[in-house]
Amino acid sequence: MVIQPVQKNLWEGAPGASSAAGGQGAGASSFTDELKSKIGEVNNLQNQADAAVQHSAAGGIDGIPETMIKLEEANMGLLLVAKVRDKALQAYQQVMQMQF
């Protein structure tokens, strides 16, 4: 069993890092693409939760527990996006305070 060094895994795909394979692989994606994808997923969760609430309010056969689960999933996704935003802003502010 081969154990890969931790440093190699941390530096793979970093901007400006060179790799033995000659750049990013075919499956590599940027942070921006991943962020857009995850925000889209959270939007879909929000839409599903809204639809579940409307369906439940209209007397649908879905019970309250299923509706609450969808609402909580959407809430957790939104909280995660807010945390990522806060961390990105914090990192930006730290970079702006650096003196060169």
User: What would the pLDDT profile of 28-76 be if each residue is shown by its tens digit?
Assistant: 678 889 889 999 999 999 999 999 888 888 877 667 888 899 999 999 9
1, part of any domain: no
Residue type (1 letter), 32: T
In a domain, 10, yes or no: no
Instruction: With beta carbons less than 8 A apart as the criterion, state whether 29 and 12 touch.
Output: no
Tell me whether residue 63 is in a domain.
Answer: yes
Query: Which residues are CB-contacts of 66 (< 8 A; sequence separation ≥ 6)?
Result: 52
Domain range for 53 is 32-100
Within a domain: 66: yes
Q: Is residue 23 part of a domain?
A: no
Q: In the chain, pLDDT over 70 holds for what percent of residues?
A: 70
72 token code pair: 């909580």
71 within some domain: yes
- Find the range with the poorest average confidence among 16-20, 49-53, 74-78, 93-97: 16-20
Asked if residue 13 is part of any domain, the answer here is no
User: The whole model's pTM is what?
Assistant: 0.62
In a domain, 50, yes or no: yes
Q: How far apart are CA 84 and CA 76, in angstroms?
A: 12
Q: How many domains does the chain have?
A: 1
